Amino acid sequence: MCANVIVAEDDKKQAELVRRYLEREGHAVTVVGDGLAALDEVRHGQPDLLVLDVMMPRADGLDVVRVLRAEHRELAVLMLTARTTEDDLLLGLDLGADDYMSKPYSPRELMARVRTLLRRTNRPEQANPAPEAVDEVLSVGTIRVDTARHEISVDGTAVECTPGEFRILAAMAAEPERVFSRQRLLAELHGFDRYISTRTVDVHIMNLRKKIEPAPRKPTRLLTVFGVGYKLTDPAATRASRASS
């Protein structure tokens, strides 16, 4: 899968190394050295992936992700950082990053992460999708997840989600009422570092509730099953079941 990739890294040697590895895999690569240049490249191009260093001049990587997601840019974001604390990692994910690697890292592992991320965030470009793709719409109450078009709507209104949030919601929508453990949902996000705690899932769930729940602090759709995990449910069906009983 060849992609259009932006590498935002102010360390020239590191940027050149990443560029070479990406080009060996057939990707078109643009390298920039600061956060504002990264934003400009994303806005004027059509990148599939942004490989983004956190510590950069003019605007750091976290600010770049914050702005891109506020502008509803759907490209995948893989963050690179020398910061190693869990709080830093969770902040990046909370802002909308899709994956996170700590420096120093293996270039071969980086390429594996890139392949996984591009495969999972690839959107069909066919004007007339194959018949089997047309039917890939999952519905739970008024939530609709179109896995072929990578689109989500709630009560008929489109909802913008990061690729990680989409994968979690799609997995749960495929099996409504099933209780998913945090470990199971973390597996849906594989490509993340194996040492990341399951708090990563909690961050994605919190963000999803902000997008699909009428009152995120009092969820009725994406529920916590204490001591076990989470489940996606249809509140109208739940009310009807209780009324009939």
pLDDT in tens, 14-49: 999 999 999 998 999 999 999 999 999 999 988 999
Q: Are the CB atoms for 161 and 76 separated by under 8 Å? A: no
Structure tokens at 181: 């453990």
Q: What's 222's DSSP letter?
A: E
211 band by pLDDT with thresholds 50, 70 and 90: very high
Q: Which of 155-159, 163-167, 190-194 has the lowest mean pLDDT?
A: 190-194
Which pLDDT score is estimated for 196? 56
- Helix (H) / strand (E) containing 80: strand 76-81
Residue predicted with more confidence, 186 or 153: 153
226 band by pLDDT with thresholds 50, 70 and 90: very high
Report CA-CA distances (Å) from 43 to 127, 189, 208: 24, 27, 25
> Considering the chain, what is the average pLDDT of its residues?
83
Kindly report the pTM of this predicted structure. 0.61
Q: Are the CB atoms for 1 and 44 separated by under 8 Å? A: no
Which pLDDT score is estimated for 71? 84
Q: Are the CB atoms for 19 and 64 separated by under 8 Å? A: no
Residue 214 dihedral angles phi and psi, to the nearest 5°: -60, -35
Q: What letter represents residue 88's amino acid?
A: D
Is the model's pLDDT at 125 over the cut of 50? Answer: no
Measured CA to CA, the distance from residue 80 to residue 99 in angstroms comes to: 9
Pairing mode, if any, of strands 76-81 and 99-102?
A: parallel
Pairing mode, if any, of strands 99-102 and 137-140?
A: unpaired
Burial class (CB in 10 A: 0-12, 13-18, 19+), 52: buried
